[in-house]
Amino acid sequence: MPMMQNPQVGNSQHAITLNYYPTTGRWTMDDGNGEKGPSSYPRIVVPYNHKGEIVFKIKDTGGAKVEFADPAFVRKTNKPDPGDFPAQFTSTVSGGGKILTVTDANSSANGQPQQKDYHYQLLFTGARPLDPIITNMGCCQIAKDNYLLPLAIGGAALLAIYFFVLRPWLARKSVQAKPPASRDHMDH
């Protein structure tokens, strides 16, 4: 039975505020549910069948000059990770070095939905790295039976064309092609 990969159904957007405390060298992250860190950074989850857009914004640095470095988003090397980190993520820094936008493909090489944890680091100039986790819930739904509906509709359309257009046209054409019956054999 053939299998087809369905497209992703949506985008998952995450706005993360970063605060740096220079006296302690500590970062906090706020995903809208209050500041957390460093042992309890919020896990960013990109739902099944969605692409992710994660926007990190440096809000408060306690007066220290802190910006995103170049590169600002990298794989954390001492943690286990799926081998496809570079294929999953792209990132850009904007806003004078204060905003980092990460795009997460949330794709699966074989089309099978698979949950994966990605350990990464945010790198900065003027502050130590920050290293939370992104969990991709996978993409894309594999269709096994739902491909039958489009095939059935296409088959029904072809049958309708044959019975209501092509067959009557062929019948008219064959009647027009026959020579008229001769009257000679009727007179005798």
29-80 pLDDT per residue, tens: 999 988 898 888 888 898 888 888 999 999 989 999 999 999 999 988 887 7
What percentage of the chain exceeds 90 in pLDDT?
A: 32
Cis-peptide into 82, omega within 30 deg: no
139-179 pLDDT per residue, tens: 764 444 444 556 567 777 777 787 787 788 777 777 676 66
Cis-peptide into 139, omega within 30 deg: no
Residues 158, 150 contacting (CB under 8 angstroms): no
Classify residue 103 by burial, with Cβ atoms within 10 Å: 0-12, 13-18, 19+.
middle
Other CB atoms within a 10 A radius of the CB of residue 97 amount to 18
> What are the extents of the domains in the chain?
8-142, 143-178
The pTM for the full model equals: 0.67
- What's the CATH fold of domain 8-142? Immunoglobulin-like (2.60.40)
CA distances from 62 to 25, 57, 162 (A): 10, 15, 76
pLDDT of residue 47: 87
